[in-house]
Amino acid sequence: MKKMGIMLLSITILLVLAAGNVWATGSQQAGNTVYVFGPTPDHGWTGSAARFAEEKIAQLNAAGGKYTYVFRAAGSPDAQIQQIEAMLAESKKPAGVVIQASDNMVQAAVERIAQANIPLILFDRLLDGTSPLIREKMLIAMSADNYAIGAGAAYYMVEKGLTPGEAIWELPGDNSAVSVERGTGFREFLTGKRPFNDDQGQSHTIAANKKWTDAQINSSITSSQVANWSRDNAKTYFESYIAGKTPQTLAKWLWTMDDEFVMGILELLQTPAKAAEREVFESTVKVITGCGGLTALYDVMGRTKATAGNQLYQPDGVAIMSPTCRPGFFVDAIQLMEDALNGKDITVHYTDKATKRFHEPPHLVDTASWAANKNNPSWRGFD
């Protein structure tokens, strides 16, 4: 009896292992459900992207096509992992998966999707750089072109009169690849190593007589402590930077990596206690950049100091610009899955064939361009 019990236990274990490995063999019957995983559609660029995704899914399902699309929103990496595990435990294999990963914690769960040979598209927060398996199996990885965001900020400043060797103050987002790529794009445009490719397909290069040397880059750009995408941190670091500055010592060119940073700086400067700093700021600064597409910053761009009333003001003489990649290109990721499942060749959308990447180029939003394009759905801001 003891041997029989051991034998039955062994068989049970083998059956459990077989069930656990069934996704790797791809033996499940394929269903017609496409899962789209993304963030909770509450606020910020990612929240706006999620709202665009929900709209697209509603349209596809209303059209009554072959595939049914289901959106799964998660407020944390753990929640997203649980959603993926629940999907993989279903009786039928999904027809496809489009995912905006919460962060790198989700990588192992996404690798299980890849192992199961489920058609996979990555959006925005990509894992293909750290997982060879995901890179091999995915159809396409779609993200904002962070190099172009940095290059676009530099291009805009040059167009507004920036000359080689002038002082620039930089406020980075964090220590991630996003900020590194933006900073690299900014510097490489100024040195002539990289063009700025905009969302209209135009390529802009810096004129030979306006190129910076590496020595000028190193001596003229003052980089702040990273603000970790925090408006409050931006206030703190800019307050420290501007303290005691005069029109002769304050940088005319402020290169920040997020719209929240610009909002924080403007909030700081409009307080009565900062009247002296505000006067120096308005008399000195030529350009301040953000990034993202924050509706509140668009509102600032859309009015003048005289009409702002008690609202956050638009400083006189200072150009505010936000190089923004539309969150709506989440819609494109979902459409590409629909196209791929219906036999269309989506490799034509690669901007980098070696890595199967698509990079979304930014548009440059300032007072003039926002006035001209504010009714364009692709330029819609987010809260």
- Taking 60 as the threshold, does the pLDDT of residue 138 lie above it? yes
Q: For 89-130, how does the pLDDT look when each residue is reduced to its tens digit (9 = 90+)?
A: 999 999 999 999 988 899 999 999 999 999 999 998 888 888
Burial status of residue 266 (CB atoms within 10 A of its CB: 0-12, 13-18, 19 or more): buried
pTM of the shown model: 0.80
Region 139-166 average pLDDT = 97
How sure is the predictor about 28, in pLDDT bands with cuts at 50, 70 and 90?
Answer: low
Question: Rounded mean pLDDT of the chain?
Answer: 89
Q: Which residues contact 27 (CB under 8 A, 6 or more apart)?
A: none
Mean pLDDT of 219-233: 95
pLDDT in tens, 349-370: 999 999 999 999 999 999 999 9
Lowest-confidence segment of 55-64, 248-257, 308-317, 364-373 by average pLDDT:
308-317
Write the pLDDT tens digit of every residue in 178-208: 899 999 999 999 999 999 999 999 999 999 9
pLDDT band at 264; cut points 50, 70, 90:
very high
Which pLDDT band, with edges at 50, 70 and 90, does 315 fall under?
confident
pLDDT at position 34 is: 98
pLDDT score of 54 more than 60: yes
Residue 24 has pLDDT above 50, yes or no: no
